[in-house]
Structures are given as structure tokens and as C-alpha cells.
């Protein structure tokens, strides 16, 4: 048993296949980045944890996972979230780890996806690489979750980075806040594309991607189709993109450098 561990902290999803393609893939990248370290999973959504337990697939929350690491003799832990922005969920994870810091010699937290300027550049590059076949007559719309936290500005900042890269046909919107679907629709209509491609700006292509983005009614797909655009939906979470996984691994490495 190693003395060091990575605790990969994710919101979670009830969809097993999607979970392993995204969260599981990020965790595998952590194993490759930290040979000899244990990599453990924790989920933070109480609703998802309840549903998984009811389905006979129980998983641990943060304090349960930390408790097991303690019992197994781990003394140094990097808690690396798979969150997109530095908002309420990241802050809650940090508070949770602080409550149990006395269990370990050291415990540190890695930053979420969109934190430093180089993260925005790397994320934009990773997404552009995934959509290299996007033509000038097509538009890619990325749907993020959004938050009332001040970290919500990360979504508009990422949109700006795409434009700065010359990717004027890539737009970022959010389900809950700004940029809203109405804002995205107005900007897309100004260039009159021949096709819309919708993809989630979320680690997992879960309920939001399946329903709010790609659903038949009251969805982003329906909103674009009502305006006469052909729409293609891509149910692929960010965790499936190698470039995105590399950003999370780099954040975990930077956090690990703080361990003595």
C-alpha cells in the first residue's frame, strides 16, 4: 500500500457507461501520471449517490473515501476535482477536506478545469482538436452548466478565447446563467450558419446533455430547429477528450508539488 493517493472528486452520473468514459478515463490518466499512487473515486451529488445505492451500485462521498484512505494507511492525499469552474462545488470540496485534514500528514486540493489563463488556452485547443472537421459554414455550440457564483465568468472568458483563436464559429452558453441560450441564439443568427453542432461543456454527458441540450422539447436542439437550423448533437463529455484529461492531470501534479 502506497503512502500517497489521489482522490478524484466528481459530481457524478447515474449512467455507468458514460461515467467510465469520462470520470473513469480521467482517473486512468491520473494513474498513468502518478505511478505507484492509489487513485480513488468520490462523488459529491447526494441524489446520484442515493440512486446508485438504490440500484445496487453504491459509491463513496468525500468523507467516506477519505476515511477509507486513512484506514488503508495513506498519509498524503491530493484531492483533484473534475469540476469545470472554481465555484461553489470546488469550495465545498476544499471545506470538506479541511474538516478531515487531521487524518493525514498532508492533504492538498487541485484546481478545477478553468482556473488559470493557460487552462483556458489548453481547453480551447483541446476542443478545437476534437472538432477539426468543423467547416466555416457550421457552428459549434458548447453547453455549460452555469453557476450563480462569480466563477461563472469563466464561460464568457472561454468564449472569448475561442474568438481570439480565430474560431468565430464556436460559441459557449450555459443552462442556468449567462451566456444563456437566448444570448447564443442571437449571436449565432448574426452569422447564419448552415448547420449547428451541439456538444456539452461538461465532464460527463449526463442528464443535462441528454435532456436540456439534445431533448425533443424545451431543449437547445429544439430552439435551433425551430429557427430552421439542421442540428447535430454530440453526446460526448469533456472527460473523453485527451487534452482535457491532460489539464486535470497537470493540476493534480501542481497540487502534489505542494506536498513535503
User: Which residue, chain included where needed, has cell 425533443?
Assistant: 216
Residue of 102, 145, 149, 168 marked catalytic? 145
> Is 251 annotated in the active site?
no
Q: Return the active site residues.
A: 145
Amino acid at each position: 500500500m502506497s503512502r500517497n493517493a489521489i482522490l478524484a472528486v466528481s459530481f457524478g452520473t447515474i449512467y455507468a457507461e458514460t461515467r467510465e468514459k469520462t470520470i473513469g478515463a480521467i482517473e486512468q490518466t491520473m494513474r498513468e501520471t502518478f505511478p505507484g499512487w492509489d487513485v480513488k473515486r468520490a462523488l459529491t451529488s447526494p441524489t446520484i449517490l442515493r440512486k446508485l445505492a438504490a440500484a445496487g451500485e453504491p459509491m463513496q462521498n468525500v468523507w467516506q473515501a477519505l476515511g477509507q484512505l486513512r484506514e488503508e494507511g495513506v498519509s498524503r492525499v491530493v484531492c483533484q476535482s473534475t469540476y469545470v469552474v472554481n465555484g461553489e462545488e470546488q469550495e465545498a470540496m476544499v471545506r470538506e477536506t479541511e474538516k478531515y485534514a487531521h487524518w493525514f500528514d498532508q492533504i492538498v486540493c487541485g484546481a478545477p478545469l478553468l482556473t488559470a489563463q493557460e487552462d483556458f488556452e489548453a481547453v480551447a485547443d483541446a476542443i478545437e482538436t476534437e472538432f477539426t472537421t468543423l467547416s466555416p459554414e457550421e457552428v459549434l455550440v458548447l453547453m455549460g452548466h452555469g453557476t450563480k457564483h462569480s466563477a461563472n465568468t469563466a464561460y464568457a472568458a472561454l468564449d472569448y478565447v475561442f474568438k481570439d483563436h480565430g474560431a468565430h464559429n464556436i460559441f459557449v452558453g450555459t443552462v442556468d446563467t449567462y451566456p444563456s441560450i437566448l444570448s447564443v441564439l442571437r449571436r449565432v443568427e448574426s452569422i447564419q450558419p448552415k448547420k449547428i453542432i451541439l456538444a456539452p461543456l461538461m465532464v460527463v454527458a449526463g442528464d443535462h446533455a441528454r435532456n436540456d441540450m439534445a431533448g425533443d422539447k424545451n431543449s437547445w436542439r429544439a430552439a435551433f430547429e425551430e429557427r430552421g437550423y439542421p442540428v447535430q448533437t454530440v453526446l460526448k463529455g469533456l472527460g473523453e477528450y485527451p487534452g482535457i484529461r491532460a489539464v486535470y492531470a497537470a493540476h493534480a501534479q501542481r497540487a502534489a508539488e505542494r506536498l513535503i
